[in-house]
Every structure is written in structure tokens, then in C-alpha cells.
Amino acid sequence: MFKNKNTGLLLPVILLSAVILLACSNISVAQHLNDTLKEVRVHAKQNPSADTKVNDFSPGQKIRSIDSATLQQYQLQSMANLLSQQVPVFIKSYGFNGLATLNFRGSSAAQSAVLWNGIPIQNASLGIADVSTLPVALIDKVNIVYGGSAALWGSGNVGGALLLEQDKPGFDSGKHSLSVGVGAGSFGQYLGSLKGSISGKRWYFSANVFTQTATNDFKYINSAGSQERMPNDHLKSAAALLNAAYKINTQNTISLTAWYQQYDREVPPALFETYSDKQQTDGSLRLLADGNKHSGTNTWYAKSSLIRDQQHYRDDTIEINANSTVYQYYQELGWKKQFFQYGQLLVFLPLQVSWIPTPGTDTEQQTRLAIAAAYNIGLISNRLNIAVNARGEDINTHKILLPGADASFTLTQWLQLRANAQRTYRTPTLNELYYFPGGNTSLKPERGWNEDAGYTVKLGHSNFTFYHDLSVFTRDIHDWIIWLGGTIWTPHNIAEVHSRGVETENNIVYTIGNWKLHIGVNTSYVLATTVASYIQNDGSVGKQIPYAPRYNGQANVGFNYKRLSANYNQTYTGYRFITTDESEYLLPYQTGNLQLMYNTPLRNHPFQFTAQCNNIWNQHYQVVAFRPMPGINWLAGIKVTLL
């Protein structure tokens, strides 16, 4: 429940946005791929973003692109599984079908942004996104932005951002497609997917449906040291994404997209519990309208979205039956101008309104109105790219300025340097302020600076490529927000937290005949420590922030042979302290994971087989304290393209 607070509900310019959308059209995307975009697996085709903020105005930021082959391999799994195995970020998972959140470079979950086609989709009340509920099957492009860039992606983007996108609609008279997929796996997992599209010269329609059910009764070691099966852990989910687009003329396009999903989950007992009958249902409806127009050197775009997140939590043992509904309206109007040899300019106006209806009382609300601009110029025959950006934002009448700058320099054909500095800021969420019991209306906003620098080495021969990237970063945040307590948890401000570290990515690909061999290693070392505290004699000073592993990494080794691909993945996650004074911790863990994919025509229809075996060494481990993870498990599926 939330405390009542007398605030008025404002829903400005919604109708105006709809009118503007009808007049706008296709965004101009740069024809060349920014050198800062990296692949996770260099042997597969790159999957870059269609967002102009990524392609044209972030030359010095570290941005990774998940390649299309990897997305196909993980199409039956969640975004949480994909990122935990292939990207050096920490996924804080509460169990096999529990909450999973992003933690970039020692940041908290609320400091990590998740955007879908440029729209923030974190729960507007909690300020976090559960990446375990995001099916890879619904997403066409995945990009990861490391480090904060509040000027481009909004205040609250402190640690990094996960960018999810659908492909742009294709207008081709009489063209249509249809594919069907099914899968099964350990612990009673069954999955199904259906994806199709049809188009004409001026219109386009697509549908993507994904459904899943699982018993999740895996074996684990209980607090007494004996083995038993996990009870009360069933999962049922369904998701559908529909898109309709209309091409007004060669310069104007409008598009409407609807994404609905529902997850019904039982919540199993923690190791300190003997029984659980908890249940949770999460439902999300995301509606997006966008339009764009391109005319000469000018591009205009507009997007408007409405998101409703519902959560129903029930615990019959202690007679809790809680319902929560939160709404978020977002719109963005933008204009980009190309000045040719003088660079390009982007100006955009974001508006975000979040509110929680409370029957019989006034509504809790948070309004963010901003004006932002970014300018990028290429010098020295485009070897030097410099971008500056700034955002002025008004959050419930509190005004802030968020400047930033980044640059890249191609020193040689095989060596590129980059640097980035951004001011960061995050206002407390509705949950942190008003949750009852435990909300804290005295919380101060988090504020600070994020800096990082690095280099990329790319060497290639006729049958050999080598890729190496190194990044160093530092981030200093004042008034960091952390939840503390026993029976009742309450958010508090820590005076100052300093995060710093180094990340590396390394890939080698060797081709001989029909064989393509690859090996890659990603590493991350993060120190995120409390520098100062408002509490006298606080034992957290100089200690690592809870659930921020110092060491994290993945290794991949495998091959492609004609239509067959295989990959072995090894992950490592280091110690995670679970108390602010480092008095308690979780042991490091490693998992071995095997992926196979085979493509072949079946009666002139493309046929794809995928299989994964996760945690093949059957290690018993916990990502979050008292929440055991499953041992060895497998998942296999087939997809047939009928049209």
C-alpha cells in the first residue's frame, strides 16, 4: 500500500501528441555503424541499434550489440539468461522464475534503465525492470549502454541502459511470413511461439506471441543439508506483441504497437522458511504510437506511449492480499539536422508522467518535463568524433541540468580510443517515497558524475580476426539510496559511494574451409565502496556495496560448420557481500553452459533446431541469499518458417 499524498494528476499534451504523430515520419539513420558498437560473438552478423542517439550521438560511449545469431540461440529463454551468460553485467536473480534485475558496474537495480523502442519500461513505482519477464523471442535488437548518459536517456540512467527494439516495418506488396516454434525442457518446461507479418506498399502488420509453462520442481540443498524438491514454484506466462504501420508517402510513416504480457508465478520458500503458499501475478500493457518524417537534411519524429503495470501478491498464510497498479505516460518530440561537414544536431522534448491511482484519495504522481540537445561533429577526415549533450529537466518543479560529452579517435586502422564524462542524477521513486509501511519522504536524490575511457583493437586477415577492448571507469554518487531494516525495510541515503573498475572483451575468430572457430573472454572488476555515511561509526565505510560482485566474467569457445553451430559458455561470479559491513557474504560460483543450433531446409521451409544445457557441472549456488538456483537443466526447441 501507499500513503496518501495530496498531489494533482496532470496529463498534459496527450491529444497534442497524437496530432503531431500523424504529421511525422521516418527517422534518418546513419548509414555507417559506429565503431563503438561491439558484438558479443564476432562470428555472427552484427545487430546494431536503429536509435539515432546510439548511432550518431554516442561516439565515446561503450555500447555492445548482441548479434542476431545469439538472439536466435536464446529465443526460448528470458533476457535475464541471455545477459547473465553473454554480457559482463551482474543479474541479481531471486530464483529460477523469480525477480531478476540489472546491475551495471556496481550500480543498484534502480540505477539501471531499460528502454523499449526508446520508451522507458521500468515499473514507474519501483523504478526497476524485471528482466526475467522479458522474452528474447519478442525482441529483434538488443544493445547495452555502459555508464550513465542522463542527457540522452533521462535522469535515473546512472549505471547503464538496456535498449530493446523491434525491427522497422518493411513495406512490400504481397510479402508475408509465418513461423512457428515449440520447445520443452527440464522441470516441466513447455514453450510455444508464433510470429507472422503481412505487408503491402503502404501498410504493414505483424504479430508475435510467446507462451510458457513450467513446474520448476528442481532439486536443491535445504538448510539442514539434505536434498529436496522445490515446492510452490509453478510458472505460467503469455505475451503478445502486435504492430501496425502505415506509409503515408515516401517521407512519412506512422506506427502503432501494443505489447501485453502476464506472468503468474508461485513464490517458493526461502531456505529459512518451511512453507510457502505465496503467489504473484504481474501484468503489463504497453502501448506505443510513433511517427517520423524525413525531408532533405531534416528529420522529425514523435513517439507517445502509455504503460500500465499491475501486480497482485497474495500470501494466505499471513492473510496478505495486495494489489498495485501504476501508470506511466511518456512522449518525446525530436528534430535532427544534418550540417554535413559541420556535424549534426539533435533537439528533443521528453515528457514522463507516472501515477498510482488510490481509490478515495488523491493520486501519487511524479512528472518529468525536459528539453535536451546533442551535437556531434567529425574532424580530421572523420577520425575524431566529438559529441556534447545536455538536458534540462524539471521533476515535480525541481530543476536540474545534466551535461555530458564524449569522443572517439581512430588512431590507426586497428586502434581506436574513446572517452566519456556525464553528470548523473536519480530522483527517488514513488515506492521509495510513499510505500507503506517503510517509505521515506525525506530521501534526497542521488547525484554525481560518471567518467570512463578505453580503447579498441581490431586486427584482421583473410581467415583470422582479433578483437580486444578495454574500459576503465569511475563514478562518484552522493546520497546513494539503499534499503535497510529488519521487519520493516526503509530506504536511506548513504552520504557517498565510489564505484570504479576495469572491463575487457577479447575475441578471436579463425576460418578454415567450412569451419569457423571462435574463442572469447569477457572480464569485469568492480570496486563499489561507501566513502562516507550520515551514520556515526558506520561499519559500511570503505566496504563493498551489498550484491556488487568484484569479479565477473564469461568465456565462450565454439565453432560453426556449415549449418551447425556450437558454443560452450563458462560464467564466473565472485563474492557478493549481503551486509553493508561485509560481515556476511555468498561464495563465488561458476556455471558451464552449452548451446547448439542447426539450420536446414525442410521441404523448402527453413527449419531451425536449438538446444541448451545450463549448469552442466550441476553446481549448487545462490545468486541472492537463501534463494537456491537449479542444478543441471536443459531446453530444446524447433522453429519452422512456413511462409
Q: How far apart are CA 248 and CA 449, in angstroms?
A: 44
Please state the rounded mean pLDDT for residues 377-396: 96
Instruction: Please write the tens of the pLDDT for every residue from 27-40.
Output: 333 333 333 333 33
Q: How far apart are CA 520 and CA 542, in angstroms?
A: 34
Closest residue by Cα to residue 27 from 375, 338, 299, 333: 299
Model confidence, pTM = 0.91
For residue 19, count CB atoms less than 10 angstroms from its CB and return exposed for 0-12, middle for 13-18, buried for 19 or more: exposed
Closest residue by Cα to residue 612 from 577, 565, 547, 561: 565
On the question of pLDDT at 629 being above 80, the answer is yes
Q: What is the dihedral of CA 266, 267, 273, 274, to 10 degrees?
A: 10
- Domain spanning 14-641: which CATH class is it, in words? mainly beta
276: helix, strand or coil: coil
Beta strands in 226-295 (DSSP E): 227-229, 235-247, 252-267, 278-295
On the question of pLDDT at 8 being above 90, the answer is no
- Record the cell numbers describing residue 292, joined without a space: 517520423
Instruction: Please write the tens of the pLDDT for every residue from 406-431.
Output: 999 999 999 999 999 999 999 999 99
Instruction: Please write the tens of the pLDDT for every residue from 320-341.
Output: 999 999 999 999 999 999 998 8
Instruction: Please write the tens of the pLDDT for every residue from 508-537.
Output: 999 999 999 999 999 999 999 999 999 888
Q: Which amino acid is located at 375 in the chain?
A: Y
Q: Which amino acid is located at 27 in the chain?
A: I
Closest residue by Cα to residue 427 from 485, 326, 371, 352: 352
* Burial readout 216-229 (b: 16 or more C-beta within 10 A, e: otherwise): bbbebeeeeeeeee
Q: How far apart are CA 63 and CA 337, in angstroms?
A: 23
Q: How far apart are CA 401 and CA 396, in angstroms?
A: 14
Q: Residue 462: what pLDDT?
A: 87
Q: Residue 36: what pLDDT?
A: 36
Cβ pair 331, 351 in contact under 8 A: yes
On the question of pLDDT at 9 being above 80, the answer is no
pLDDT category at 244 given cuts 50, 70, 90 is very high
Q: How far apart are CA 141 and CA 451, in angstroms?
A: 27
Q: How far apart are CA 397 and CA 368, in angstroms?
A: 9
On the question of pLDDT at 44 being above 60, the answer is no
Mean pLDDT of the chain: 90
Task: Give yes or no for a cis peptide into 59 (omega within 30° of 0).
Answer: no
Q: Residue 109: what pLDDT?
A: 93
For the chain, the distance separating the N- and C-terminal CA atoms, rounded to the nearest angstrom, is: 49
Q: How far apart are CA 247 and CA 525, in angstroms?
A: 48
What's the gap between Cα 369 and its chain centre?
23
Q: Residue 565: what pLDDT?
A: 97
- Record the cell numbers describing residue 461, joined without a space: 586477415
Instruction: Please write the tens of the pLDDT for every residue from 429-443.
Output: 999 998 888 899 999
Q: How far apart are CA 594 and CA 390, in angstroms?
A: 44
Q: Residue 362: what pLDDT?
A: 72
Report the relative pairing of strands 37-39 and 63-65 from DSSP bridges: parallel
Q: Residue 12: what pLDDT?
A: 34
Q: How far apart are CA 558 and CA 592, in angstroms?
A: 13
Cβ pair 586, 93 in contact under 8 A: no
Q: How far apart are CA 34 and CA 26, in angstroms?
A: 20
Please state the rounded mean pLDDT for residues 47-52: 79
Q: Residue 627: what pLDDT?
A: 95
Tell me how many degrees the CA angle 128-133-134 measures, rounded to the nearest 5.
90
The arrangement of strands across the sheet holding 37-39 comes to 37-39, 63-65, 141-146, 160-165, 112-116, 119-120
Closest residue by Cα to residue 427 from 150, 164, 162: 150
Q: Residue 7: what pLDDT?
A: 37
Cβ pair 6, 363 in contact under 8 A: no
The total number of residues shown for the chain amounts to: 643
Beta strands in 339-463 (DSSP E): 344-356, 364-379, 384-395, 398-410, 415-426, 446-460
Question: How many other β-carbons are positioned within 10 Å of the β-carbon of residue 534?
Answer: 12
Q: Distances from the Cα of 404 to the Cαs of 37, 171, 426, 497, in angstroms? A: 19, 38, 16, 20
What's the gap between Cα 593 and its chain centre?
22
Report the relative pairing of strands 446-460 and 464-485 from DSSP bridges: antiparallel
374 DSSP β-pair partners? 346, 389
Q: Residue 47: what pLDDT?
A: 52
pLDDT category at 553 given cuts 50, 70, 90 is very high
Percent of the chain with pLDDT over 70: 92
Beta strands in 296-319 (DSSP E): 298-315
Bin 559: left if φ > 0, else alpha if -120 < ψ < 50, else beta: beta
Please state the rounded mean pLDDT for residues 41-46: 36
Query: Kind and range of the H or E element at 209?
Result: strand 203-214
Q: Residue 488: what pLDDT?
A: 82
pLDDT category at 3 given cuts 50, 70, 90 is very low
On the question of pLDDT at 26 being above 50, the answer is no
Instruction: Please write the tens of the pLDDT for every residue from 162-180.
Output: 999 999 998 987 889 999 9
Q: Residue 441: what pLDDT?
A: 92
Task: Supply φ then ψ for residue 442, to 5 degrees.
Answer: -95, 5
On the question of pLDDT at 316 being above 60, the answer is yes
For residue 411, count CB atoms less than 10 angstroms from its CB and return exposed for 0-12, middle for 13-18, buried for 19 or more: exposed
Q: How far apart are CA 327 and CA 620, in angstroms?
A: 39
